[in-house]
Chains A and B, each alone.
Chain A
């Protein structure tokens, strides 16, 4: 299975209103002790053949992430984590 996973997160210095909203909502669920939540997105890319990390990186830079305000990481997903 040639699956590449791209994780996109807002850069650490950028405000994440969604994350802030979650932090503020947690006490209402009785959850305490959480100081920060950051929300990002995970993209799974299936390649027909061998996973191409360079190509995945290019896809992420040009399409999946907004590099002005977001960082991304690219990795090949391991076999064992594909099968739950």
Chain B
């Protein structure tokens, strides 16, 4: 005879206050647990405890970051484009009278270390649903990635799995992948970063809300069945530091199904078009718990849910498991009762399950029953909004002063032409600067037919309308700069993404971010976080573009060693006619065009790629950042684009001018001839990482007009050479010549050699 296990109902909980509950194992602190008991006036049931542990986890409650993130709203510059901002599933930006664009980055770091393929795949699926929940059709994805040392034995497992996972999910969904980053550094060995950005487009009036408004409206679960996917994933995976035992614990990871997601997208879009939903929320890392409490809290209403109605993959699932499940490809809809039948009909048409779970009430309580017994009875706002908020201690890392004093500008530098030539080749072949085609060729770039620019261009660009209206997107971050100076590191990431959008000729209009940091309970990490957020908020105010939303990922840490603080900043730009975009590469047709370097070059090597590649060095202060200059530069580039003055424009970043020349020549296999300006030495000219610089080419007959425009915008410009198609080489006059074939072998051989073929 099997023993009947008593269901932990509200009634049972009230009658058994003495039961010891595993709150600590679920990641709750004692004072948090006592707070829950106070809110409820009794001990929580098992289901309620699971819900609080999920919603009050760092991942969902932002309890450590909230006090800092407020600056994004407080310092937000005025924008008439912003239709929805921080706090919504994703920020929404108006791009024309009728169209809006929504975009956001999220992290899926921890799951992607445990199971790289599925972790990365479900990361894409998750961010796509965020965009879908705003009423938009997802139109592209991007993936900023960070991996451990390229030659470490475990890196290959993570890199190949993550890239395959992103391509499997994104390609199956039919979404182009238009950009991203791949960076290797030993600090990410046990904590790879898999950030995923998605962008979507919607008619302005189709914007959706998540509020469960309208008493009597029906709560509908749409999409896949609920199984035991990633149970406890949010509180265990996202909030616990990795240690030796985590490999053994083998938490249950989620597996996604992109084909179900595709049906879900089409079903939702049809529901929006027919005005059939009042509110909608995606089910992400915290499953039903998060969707139910957030929709109810947003509307200030209550909810009555019959949990046994949830379609299950495994019938033996218990209430708390159903509430915590992270099964993918699900959405929660709020539907008026008289439209329910039509909604179910649309779902049937697309072959997606739809189930009425309950209704919106005016009680202000989220009441969930399981076969007639109440297992949850809580105020939804206590889960969604009133979680703990911590003002955690901050302390400047003790090693920072030493690190700052150890400047890369003091390292021995190559001087002879032979040494400089060898350094250009060595840098081009280094894993962070090398050709990323091995990664990006696994992604679909042109599906849907609206991709105008994709990797390796500075920014991805998409056409939105036949008129030529389009958007450009770039995401950037530099963990080494941020390690040396978190405040300016964040501003440098912003400046870089902003400039990458500007070089295409688009006008930057909005910002999203994904803040990847170590353990927030470490005051040094928390200081880095606070400084980076302050830097990003100040930077956005200086550039006059708002932060529309973002994501925080803490606990990226192995033992006591945190990753470099890595804020990834995404910038969205608008371009009125994508046909006038400016490409990054020199072309046969631009032979003889004059090459200019915009911006000012100083000897700035600290935190840079040269110091790392040739000396394994990290120290000093990162390059200076001047956002007023960045703004002038962007205006100049946009106007020069409109007047068709530019035949190419390429941003200078890691690796400096040498790397920019490598990329611009190899893009179409067209050479260039440059000479070192009189006021610079060849090394500084080629390898300094001074920011705010752009390499451009201008037709000879437009040079006077272009330089006048530069003067008007107070952008320093230096004529450094000409596009030389017949040479087939990268030539620095008086120094060296590198045939493009030789340069390409160095640039393109690295990643395939590291990650292609069979394991040895």
Contact = CB atoms under 8 A, between A and B. Distances in A.
Interface of A: 10-17, 20-21, 24, 66-69
B229 A13 contact: yes
Contacts of A67: 250
A68 B229 contact: no
Nearest to A12: B314
Contacts of A12: 228, 314
B116 to A, nearest CB: 10
A69 B118 CA distance: 9
A82 B256 CA distance: 37
B114 A15 contact: no
Nearest to B259: A17
B227 A13 contact: yes
B314 to A, nearest CB: 7
B757 to A, nearest CB: 16
Contacts of A11: 252
B250 A15 contact: no
Contacts of A68: 114-115, 250, 253
Given A66-B115, A68-B114, A69-B115, A15 B328 contact: yes
A67 B253 CA distance: 11
11 contacts: A12-B228, A13-B227, A13-B228, A13-B314, A14-B227, A14-B253, A15-B328, A17-B257, A17-B259, A67-B250, A68-B114
A13 B314 CA distance: 8
Contacts of A17: 255, 257, 259-260
Nearest to A68: B115
B643 interface: no
B229 A14 contact: yes
A68 B113 CA distance: 11
Given A68-B114, A68-B115, A15 B229 contact: yes
A13 B351 CA distance: 23
Contacts of B227: 13-15
B254 interface: yes
Given A20-B257, A67-B250, 12 more contacts: A11-B252, A13-B229, A13-B314, A14-B227, A14-B252, A14-B255, A15-B257, A16-B255, A17-B255, A17-B257, A68-B253, A69-B118
B579 interface: no
A25 to B, nearest CB: 11
Interface in B201-250: 224, 227-229, 231, 250
Interface in B322-358: 327-328, 351
Given A14-B229, A15-B327, A15-B328, A69 B255 contact: yes
A12 B316 CA distance: 12
Contacts of B255: 10, 14-17, 69
Nearest to B258: A17
Nearest to B759: A63
A22 to B, nearest CB: 13
A71 B76 CA distance: 51
A54 to B, nearest CB: 20
Nearest to A20: B257
Q: Which of A11, A24, A69 has the most CB of B within 10 A?
A: A69
A27 to B, nearest CB: 12
B44 to A, nearest CB: 25
Contacts of B118: 69
A11 B224 CA distance: 18
A24 B118 CA distance: 23
B313 interface: yes
A37 B116 CA distance: 26
Nearest to B316: A12
A67 B250 CA distance: 8
A22 B457 CA distance: 42
Q: 6 shortest A-B CB distances, which residue pairs? A: A13-B228, A17-B257, A15-B255, A68-B115, A14-B255, A13-B252
Nearest to A16: B255
Given A68-B115, A69-B115, A15 B253 contact: no
A77 B351 CA distance: 42
A44 to B, nearest CB: 21
A15 B254 contact: yes
B275 to A, nearest CB: 30
A28 B221 CA distance: 26
Contacts of A16: 255
B253 A69 contact: yes
A44 B252 CA distance: 28
A66 B327 CA distance: 20
Given A67-B250, A69-B253, A69-B255, A15 B115 contact: no
Contacts of A20: 257
A20 B114 CA distance: 25
Contacts of B327: 15
Contacts of B256: 15
Contacts of A10: 255
Nearest to A67: B250
Interface in B243-298: 250, 252-257, 259-260
B270 to A, nearest CB: 20
B257 to A, nearest CB: 4
B246 to A, nearest CB: 11
Contacts of B228: 12-13
A24 B348 CA distance: 13
A9 B297 CA distance: 41
Interface in B687-746: none
Nearest to A24: B351
A49 to B, nearest CB: 27
B313 A15 contact: yes
B758 to A, nearest CB: 12
Contacts of B114: 68
